[in-house]
Structure 1
């Protein structure tokens, strides 16, 4: 290998090392924290009454007893899938499916969730979606 090729290779390796060290400064948790802060703050506000009243953000809310987790909340929302008819883009009569359609909304690519223990012993879960989905007249996927 010629001196030029070795120099080029070393330069490329140094540039790659610099880029990787810059990326390492931002952990995945740093990225998630930005998206989790708002729903966590909202969940914290609900500990007094645990009432599921939506904020202005695109969100799904759930509450449960025991050790109710975010994973269980998402499973509840996804369980609404049989209630959704893609052909008509509507929920079955008398059924709920809007939580499901928000979970699978094609343009919602960022998710943040928060969980708080309410004074009545229940857990309150809030998950925000960005960009917001569930636009009237649009199919989720």
Structure 2
């Protein structure tokens, strides 16, 4: 029995690590695929996952666990934030929330229209959707963590930051 326990514990530990890695990899792919689907609709190149940007995102997400507040990090990257109260608030849910701004974005005037712009813009400039589809952004790193209050906090960071007011995203 001792031999079985001694040999099975490392196997169990490795299995848990592989499952966790697979979950993380699936979530990472969900972030990438959902971003790139939105980007393809406006004809900009795909983003690629970047480990350094993802590490930054995870460190910041972990720092927000205690309060889950949507406060920007003011770091070196462009950034989108979201939170949701359900465990079903996934990578896909967060990115789709940001992309849902599209009907309110007027490319001709490069601004948001209607009441929606009160909540999401800086000087009527859509700062969420345009960050997802910013042409010069090429690297992506995101993180999703559960906060101490049970909510889920999501951050995606973009390198090159882009989203310069007055400039068109694509």
Instruction: Flag whether TM exceeds 0.5 (same fold).
Output: yes
CA distance in 1, matches of 2:169, 2:50: 24
Q: Under a length normalisation based on structure 1, what TM-score does the superposition of the two structures give? A: 0.75
Cα drift, residue 93 of structure 1 = 3.4
The answer for unaligned runs of 5 or more in structure 1 is 1-30
> Residue 103 of structure 2 aligns with which residue?
82
1:74-120 per-position Cα deviation (integer Å, ceiling 9, x unaligned):
01001100110000001113323321111000010111001111011
SS of 2:155 mapped into structure 1 = strand
CA distance in 1, matches of 2:158, 2:50: 13
> Residue 81 of structure 2 aligns with which residue?
61
> Residue 49 of structure 1 aligns with which residue?
67
- The answer to whether the aligner puts 1:123 opposite 2:144 as a matched pair is no
SS of 1:127 mapped into structure 2 = strand
> Residue 128 of structure 2 aligns with which residue?
99
Asked whether the equivalents of residues 135 and 169 of structure 2 are also in contact (C-alpha less than 8 Å), the reply is yes
The answer for unaligned runs of 5 or more in structure 2 is 1-48, 121-125
Q: Under a length normalisation based on structure 2, what TM-score does the superposition of the two structures give? A: 0.62
CA distance in 1, matches of 2:51, 2:131: 21
Cα drift, residue 71 of structure 1 = 1.6
Alignment: residue pair count = 112
> Residue 10 of structure 1 aligns with which residue?
none
SS of 1:55 mapped into structure 2 = coil
Higher Cα Rg, which structure: 1
Asked whether the equivalents of residues 50 and 139 of structure 2 are also in contact (C-alpha less than 8 Å), the reply is no
